[in-house]
Structure 1
Amino acid sequence: MDGRLLLHVSKSRLWQVRDHIDTDRGGLVLCGDGAVSKAMELRKEEFTAPLLVDPEVYTSHVATEEAPFPRTEDEGFSFGDPQFDDPLRVSLNRQRAAGVTAPITPTGYIQAEDSAALLTATRQVEALDDPSVIFAAPVDVGWLQDDDSVRQLIGALNLIRGPKALMLGGQMDPLGRFPQAVSNLRRVLASVPGAALMRTDLAVFGALAHGASFGSFGTTGSLRHIVPPGQPVQSTRGVVAAPHVLFPELMGFFLGSKIAKAFAAADGPPCNCRVCDGEGLDRFTSMHGEHQRRAAAHNVATMGTWLHMLMGAAHGFDRQMRWHELCRTAVEHYPILNASIDQKGTFKPDAQLKRWAVLVPDVVPLGSSVPAGQRTS
């Protein structure tokens, strides 16, 4: 799955993106109710792209030292048989039976600074001695707040020889919470071989640029980060009456209704992705099924263009520089666009995007033995 961008999607939303998966560089991560049975169904339909199932235990259960892979209600009865009494093995076996490319561990949410839970989880996975297992590391973004936490995270993840998938927890935009979160994420990716970033937003491109083995992008806002178990979902929006649309020049998601309102007195911004083919982004104005499907297809097509552009650059400094330039150009375009529609401050860049834009890649001195992209600031 190296270099692939998978779509993280619930079974109920699969219809929006099923026909737009890039089989050369993409794939699927199914989650939510019925994900395992849907994966099995897709394999029977000869779906050949990479296919994963995310158990999502971290959305409802916290990992502890005693139970890093918490028992859930749908695991059935063990009848005293140890083979069916281990939540970790039960989940992995169910996923394998469905035909997944690789099984993902049913890890609970790892709270900030809970090194005991993290270490127990990594040791149990390494004890499986199975390099095909993807260790899900659903960590609170607090792990990226300071040097000590980052070192602990790196050390624990490096106990596992197989693939490791970071998933970040926190309200709204986790990577926008701390000024150093983005640079510390880059540090983790550079220091942990086989690390990936899953269930995220556009940060997945930054991760791929900085050495992530693969990544998954959440097709809805709720799948672009983890809300810690037990916390109510925080949102700056009220009732969502239109789909979220990726504005390519701004590298940001905005409600289709917001775009339409902003451009009410001007021509809507055209999009040249293969789905829009020159049509305006101001046309996604309702939650009608077709609007949702077309908006999702546009989002996937736009990200596919970025992925090919990014992965077409040489690994290391060139790829990181290309990502940096994309972000910097997008941030600089915000005031220009607002001025063009005479609406100052209508569109605002996310804090995370601004941090990627100022994070200039390191230049490795000539003759250095350290590969480009592996040095951290």
Structure 2
Amino acid sequence: MTTANPTRSTRTARDLLDSRLLTVVSGHAFPAAAAGLGDTGMIITGAVGLTKLNHLRHAHPNALLIAEPRTLSTCTSTAIEPFVLSEPGALFEDTLEDVLQRQRDAGADVALLPTGYIPVAENETLREVVRRANLIERDDTALVLSLDASWLRTEHINFVIAVLKTSLLPVLIGFAHNQSPLGTQWALRGYRQLFTAVPGLFAHRTDIAGFDAYAHGASGASIGSIPSLRRFTPPDQKSWSSNPTDRTPHVLVGSMLRYVRGSVLHTSYYQSTPAPNCSCVICDGRPIDRFITDSAEQKRDAALHSASVLTELWDRVDPSNPRAWWRNAREETMAANATLATQIGRPIKDDYLSSWEKFDSLR
């Protein structure tokens, strides 16, 4: 699904985000991501995001570039202060227009409102964030939300849907959890329900679930270049890892439709059977299980490989019927996983695929 490069000076934020797949990067992952940027798009996070965006703007004038406000990861919005205009310890408080204009001056195509994390059941905060955002009368601005994953529960999701339907600005929405926001059946179900009920939301800081969101009404998706950028972590919590001593990079395996740590690919999936060669432009026919060290070179190549595979997947989407395309892609993947499981004598974890198939069967 290839779209033409936007003309930055004439397209609105909503137009620029439509049918887009963007990469979310931090300072740590920046060099590799920037090397593979081309004329696609990127959301840059972290304290020096604006500086890095400004550098990229000169090198990639046609790329869609956005700087994510650091407040989303460090602060909490309240009904009294829905926008965080200065972080704790700052000597001066900016105006909202100061914050937005700095993004535009750095070369951002879309200015994002400086919201913070919104805890579950803080109904007045979410309502006030959207109400205040609706006062912005510029079409180059968007609302970005970091909602606690528990907003996806049955008892909260209808309120979220009702409030977001009132937004006049385009909304980029991501969910916060210290491990996996979509790691439960109720979260996956609520996530799909959200994009189905409010078409045009942009699925932010997600993973392969961004494809399911797009197939069910999302305008586009941003996918993190590393696990911590495929979600938000609540400001008062620490990100959790199943094996913090394993520093091998996570790799997107297109045939599995999931990210797998390099060491797991090598020792668990392809120890007894040869690993397939990857045809992406980065791997160029080399085995998919070769990412087994934590060297800077392997991390860089893994990031570029994953970005290349994502682009290839996105280009295959049928924009006239993305839901049918996505279901067929999932069914093909599950069949391939079953074949591999038989070969290696162990099941292949499919993350969300079985759950999505179950949801579809209940329709």
Question: Residue type matched to 1:53 in 2?
Answer: A
* 354 and 21 in structure 1: CA distance in 2 versus 1, 3 angstrom threshold: farther
- Residue of 320, 323, 343 corresponding to 1:320: 323
Are the counterparts in 1 of residues 257 and 333 from structure 2 also a CA contact under 8 Å? yes
- Contact 1:32-1:56 within 8 A present in 2 as well: yes
Q: Is the 8 A contact 1:327 1:354 kept in 2?
A: no
SS of 2:260 mapped into structure 1: strand
Which residue in 2 is equivalent to 1:40? 54
Give CA-to-partner distance per residue, 1:330-351, whole Å, 9 cap, x none.
2343342122123x13x3121x
**Contact map agreement 2:47 2:70 (CA 8 A) in 1:** no
Pair 1:96 & 2:117 matched: no
Q: Any gaps of 5 or more consecutive residues in structure 1?
A: 79-83, 363-376
Matches within 5 A, 1:97-112: 97-112=105-120
Percent of pairs with identical residues: 27
* Paired residue total: 345
1:130 aligns with 2:138: yes
Contact 1:328 1:358 in 2 (8 A): no
Contact 1:275 1:298 in 2 (8 A): yes
Are 2:254 and 1:248 aligned? yes
Q: Pairwise mapping of residues 111-126 of structure 1 onto structure 2 (< 5 A)?
A: 111-126=119-134
- 1:353 counterpart residue number: 353
CA distance in structure 1 between the partners assigned to 2:191 and 2:138 by the alignment: 26
- Whether the aligned pair in 1 keeps the contact of 2:133 and 2:169 (CA below 8 Å) is no
How far 1:46 moved relative to its partner?
4.3
For 1:373, the equivalent position in structure 2 comes to none
Distance 1:62 1:294, change over 3 A: same
C-alpha separation in 1, matches of 2:261 and 2:116: 32
Q: Tell me, what secondary structure is at the counterpart of 2:285?
A: coil
Q: Give the equivalent residue in structure 2 for 1:143.
A: 151
Q: Are the structure 2 counterparts of residues 355 and 22 from structure 1 closer, same or farther at C-alpha, using a change threshold of 3 Å?
A: farther
Report 1:61-100 matches (<5 A): 61-70=75-84, 71-73=86-88, 76-78=91-93, 84=94, 86=95, 88-100=96-108
Q: Counterpart in 1 of 2:170?
A: 163
TM-score by length of 2: 0.88
Structure 2 stretches lacking a partner, 5+ long: 1-15
CA contact (8 A) 1:331 1:357 kept: no
C-alpha deviation, 1:108, in angstroms:
1.0
2:339 to 336, 346, 355: 336
Give the equivalent residue in structure 2 for 1:13. 29
Q: Which amino acid aligns with 1:77?
A: F
RMSD after superposition = 2.1
Asked whether the 8 Å contact 2:248–2:262 carries over to 1, the reply is: yes
Deviation at 1:58, TM superposition (A): 2.3
Matched, 1:268 2:283: no
Whole-angstrom distance in 2 between the partners of 1:332 and 1:46: 40
Of 291, 294, 297, which aligns to 2:304? 297
Question: What SS class does the counterpart of residue 282 from structure 1 fall into?
Answer: coil
**C-alpha contact 2:72 2:145 (8 A) present in aligned 1:** no
d(CA) in 2 for partners of 1:157, 1:291: 41
Q: Deviations over 1:112-134 (max 9, x none)?
A: 11111101111111112223211
Matched, 1:58 2:72: yes
Shift in Å, 1:62:
1.6
| Map of 2:5 onto structure 1 | none
Pairwise CA distance, 1:232 = 2.3
Aligned to 2:8: none
Matches of 1:295 and 1:247, distance apart in 2: 11
What's the CA shift for 1:73?
Answer: 4.0
**1:134-157 CA distance string (max 9 Å, x none):** 1011111211111x5222112221
Cα pair 2:73 2:233 within 8 Å, conserved: yes
Name the amino acid aligned to 1:233.
S
1:328 to 1:213, Cα distance in 2 relative to 1, 3 A: same
Shift in alpha-carbon separation, 1:75–1:206, aligned structure 2, 3 A? farther
Encode CA deviations 1:289-321: one digit per residue, 9 max, x unaligned: 2211111111111111110111x341xxx3112
- After superposition, the C-alpha distances for 1:45-74 in whole angstroms (9 at most, x for unaligned) are 343211000013122212111122233147
Q: Distance in 1 between matches of 2:361 and 2:169?
A: 27
Q: 1:223 aligns with which of 203, 225, 229?
A: 229
Per the normalisation by structure 1, the TM-score is 0.85
The partner residue of 1:202 within 205, 208, 213 is: 208
Deviation at residue 33 of structure 1 after TM alignment: 2.1
